[in-house]
Amino acid sequence: MQRNFEEGMQGAVSGVMATMLDLEIRTTGQIAPLLHTELVCGSVGFAGPGIAGTVYLMATDSLAAGAVARIFGGEAAKASEADKLDLVGELTNMIVGEFKSRCLRAWPGCHLTVPTVVCAPMIRIESHEANLSFHLFFQTVGDPHHFSTRTHILINQEQT
Amino acid sequence: MNTEPPLQSVSPTTVKILTIDDSRMVHAVLGRAFRCYNVELCSAQNGREGLGLVAQGATPPDLIVLDINMPEMDGLEFLRQLRGLTGFEALPVVLLSADSGRRSAEDLKGLGAQRFVSKPFTEQQILEVVMDLLPLALK
């Protein structure tokens, strides 16, 4: 199941980035810059009978600024924090929606939360209750920017 | 006796579209999609703000593009209250959401909407759906 979920998340991220930002991406191994730079982190939860979880999208500040410039026009260097937060939040919302339609059809009553977004230099996310977790790393093709998704899911086998 | 109506000059008609979404990114993408057409866009950040614009606006919108998942008042509650307002019972509404697959025609009828567009969407996808409900004239 975890392999299917990971592939579903990769497909969701690729599809959203291509459709909304015209960005081609590829998966990579763990990326050092994500551990030391300013990050914009969006999160969207999902819950329904038998399942609950949260997906975090962590983008470097430079990726968020570049994406703002693509959507709103103007220079990346002048991207406002409000626009970066808005954009990462909406991208997270779209990615989780796409992940849901790819992987969570077995839980039909599952709904998404409204996104929340924070901006910080060091973000550490742990879950002590999830029984399925994975962390995927991505890089944009061409001008390389880095980002990752972290997914924590609690599946109640008795209700599934 | 000539019974035909008098000929009138045809000018491009500007249509008014209200977009309701809590994301500025989505408003920006919708703005780009309609930039070549005679469309007057007005925007609201949530259902409550959208209802205020609809109720107080001198010119009602010709179509509404409506996100479902929003804080304060979500799209479904907005739609329920909109359909209770006189004159807005049949106003075309296009629903947007990341939180579902393709909705069936019966679902849409039950919700009081005419079309559903799943996020993410391209400019071409939203244009095609809107133009299916409302003819748009190029600028």
The per-residue pLDDT for range B79-94, each reduced to its tens digit, is 999 999 999 999 999 9
* Among A5-19, A31-45, A99-113, A124-138, the least confident range: A31-45
Q: What is the pLDDT of residues B22-66, one digit of tens each?
A: 999 999 999 999 999 999 999 999 999 999 999 887 789 999 999
CB-based contacts of A159, cutoff 8 Å, min separation 6? A49, A50
pLDDT band at B10 (very low <50, low <70, confident <90, very high): very low
Interface contact flag, A93 B29, Cβ < 8 Å: no
Which one, of A135, A137, A136, A141, lies nearest residue A25 by Cα?
Answer: A141
Q: Does residue B101 carry a pLDDT above 60?
A: no
- Partner B contacted by A72 (CB < 8 A): yes
pTM: 0.89
- The pLDDT value given to residue B54: 93
Reduced to 3 states, what is the DSSP secondary structure of residue A61?
helix
pLDDT at residue B5 greater than cutoff 90: no
Q: Taking a contact as any Cβ pair under 8 Å apart, which residues of chain A between 111 and 130 contact chain B?
A: 111-112, 114
Q: Quick one: closest CA in B to A107, which residue? A: B100
Among all chains, which residue has been given the structure tokens 């007057």? B40
**Is-contact A29 A138, C-beta < 8 A?**
no
- Note whether B120 contacts A94, CB cutoff 8 Å: yes
pLDDT score recorded for residue A33: 59
Looking at beta carbons, which residues of chain B come within 8 Å of A101?
Answer: 100-101, 118
Give the strand pairing for B93-97 and B115-118: parallel
Q: Is the dihedral of CA B80, B83, B88, B93 positive or negative?
A: positive
Judged by average pLDDT, the poorest of A55-69, A84-98, A125-139 is A125-139
Instruction: Say how far apart CA B120 and CA A22 lie, in whole Å.
Output: 12
A51 - beta bridge partners? A48, A155
DSSP 8-state assignment for residue B7: P
pLDDT above 70 for A159:
no
Q: What pLDDT, on a 0 to 100 scale, did the predictor assign at position A160?
A: 56
Instruction: Report CA A100 to chain centroid distance, whole Å.
Output: 13
Contact B29 A71 (CB under 8 A): yes
Closest Cα partner for B91 from B9, B12, B5, B15?
A: B15
> Which tens digit of pLDDT belongs to each residue from A28-70?
887 665 666 788 999 999 999 999 999 999 999 999 999 999 9
Contact B47, B20 (CB under 8 A): yes
| Euclidean distance between CA atoms B61 and A124, whole angstroms | 46
Helices marked H in A22-160 — which ranges?
A: 33-36, 61-72, 81-103
Contacts of B69 in chain A (CB under 8 A): 93, 112, 114
Evaluate whether B92 touches B114 at the Cβ level (below 8 Å): yes
Interface predicted TM-score (ipTM) over 0.95:
no
